[in-house]
Amino acid sequence: MWLSDISVKRPVFATVLSLMLIAFGALSFRDLTVREYPDVVQPVVQVSAAYPGAAADIIETRVTQVLEGELSGIEGVKTIRSTSRDGQASLNIEFELSRDLDEAANDVRDRVSRVVDRLPEDVETPSVSKSDSDSQPIMWLTLTSDSMDMMALTDYMERYVLDRFAVIPGVSNINVFGSGGPSMRVWVDPLAMAARNLTVTDIEAAVRRENLELPAGRVESQDRDFQVRMARNYLTEDDFRNLVISQGADGHLIRLGEIARVEIGPRQQDRSFRTNGAITTGFGVVKQSKANTVEVLDAVKVEVDRLNAGDLPDGMELVTSGDDSMFIRAAIDAVYWTILMTTTLVGLVILVFLGSFRAMIVPLVTIPVCLIASFS
């Protein structure tokens, strides 16, 4: 009761104290994180390893099981969930809640480095990352054009659009979706290869051997220095078709165009991205775990408007097809409206039953002071 007694006896002190609480709360309100769910980081570490061209059963026996056997001995491991599919192995290691995530990730990296030499030679270096509850995109954006195909559109997006969003404060990553940009694709003919006693390994070795761009040093003189560059000889489809793979018994040069179909195609043939029923290309914006969702998406929308206003070529448009801040904004507006209605109803009830404006003003002032002070 001492606080109420002091407030009654010293109203000026009570007023100053309330104003201080309001000031601290208002200052803290600017730094409050706006998010849909609480900030809960589960101690989960992900390990991914790519083995291009390998079937799922090979991935299971040669990569996944080897990694599982090494990682299962780490302290605090709760569960290990693995997925083996064509060309890719993925493991999720969940630790006990008392385990520090950074220490767990370091232990996983140490164990993975031990087992790299036991993996097949063509397996890419496994990547270790900490799982983040905010790793899903908070907004999807689609790039459309009435003059470019999907490969050219994706290439333009990767060159000129993605970097504009990657530098926005609060953005953690940009996930690209679609078939990918252009790449040189070689479709081998098994019968033609068998007739010439060639294998896919022979083609791969020839491409690796010939399709190189190596540093050629520099030329120095008294007045000027020059960097020497040896350009690649294989840039177009015809260049690759003329690539010599081997020499036949009769001295005939076997070229790639005789045993394979060479064309420029998308990087991924089995993946597409649809928006409103149409196959397009797009990307998702992933925010940092501590970032304000509403502020990040406001900055993203400003950048979208700037691009559509004149920074994109004619006929090209960037369209937003998802917005996680809509529910958050609606929930915040509902909270504000509820506070206003509650405060008004409390004041009317007190006024009706007590018939005193002074008694009504007290809760009308106390409720906002308590709410604003709680922000600190």
Tell me the residue ranges of DSSP E strands in 146-268. Answer: 171-177, 182-188, 215-220, 225-229, 244-247, 253-255, 260-266
Predicted confidence at residue 133, as pLDDT, reads 53
> How big is the CA angle at 140 (ends 137 and 144), to the nearest 5 degrees?
150
Over residues 278-295, the mean pLDDT reads 80
DSSP class per residue in 133-170: TT-S-SEEEEEEESS--HHHHHHHIIIIIHHHHHTSTT
Give the span between the Cα atoms of 60 and 90, in whole angstroms: 10
Q: What is the DSSP letter of 117?
A: G
**pLDDT tens profile 300-312:** 999 999 988 888 8
Closest CA to 342 of 318, 367, 362, 323: 367
Question: Residue 88 above 60 pLDDT?
Answer: yes
Over residues 315-342, the mean pLDDT reads 85
Residue 107: partners with Cβ closer than 8 Å, 6 or more residues away: 74, 75
**pLDDT tens profile 18-52:** 888 888 888 888 777 777 777 666 788 888 888 88
Give me the residues paired with residue 142 across strands: 282, 319
Predicted confidence at residue 132, as pLDDT, reads 58
**pLDDT tens profile 230-241:** 777 777 888 888
Closest CA to 68 of 99, 43, 52, 90: 90
The pairing of beta strand 88-95 with beta strand 77-85: antiparallel
Closest CA to 282 of 294, 273, 291: 273
Question: Residue 1 above 70 pLDDT?
Answer: no
Question: Residue 320 above 70 pLDDT?
Answer: yes
Give me the residues paired with residue 44 across strands: 94
Q: How many CB atoms lie within 10 A of CB 279?
A: 11
Question: Residue 269 above 60 pLDDT?
Answer: yes
The pair phi, psi for residue 127, each rounded to 5°, is -105, 140
Question: Residue 178 above 80 pLDDT?
Answer: no
Give me the residues paired with residue 97 across strands: none
Predicted confidence at residue 220, as pLDDT, reads 85
By residue count, the chain amounts to 376
Residue 244: strand, helix, or coil? strand
Give the span between the Cα atoms of 263 and 253, in whole angstroms: 21
Predicted confidence at residue 97, as pLDDT, reads 83
Give the span between the Cα atoms of 23 and 46, in whole angstroms: 44
Q: How far apart are the first and last CA of the chain?
A: 24
Residue 3, token pair as written in the block: 């606080």
Using a 10 angstrom Cβ sphere, with 0-12 exposed, 13-18 middle and 19 or more buried, the burial of residue 51 is buried
Predicted confidence at residue 219, as pLDDT, reads 85
Over residues 186-210, the mean pLDDT reads 86
Predicted confidence at residue 39, as pLDDT, reads 67
Question: Residue 289 above 70 pLDDT?
Answer: no
Is the pTM higher than 0.75? The answer reads no
Lowest mean pLDDT of 69-73, 104-108, 262-266, name the range: 262-266
Lowest mean pLDDT of 96-100, 254-258, 287-291, name the range: 287-291
Closest CA to 192 of 256, 250, 262: 256
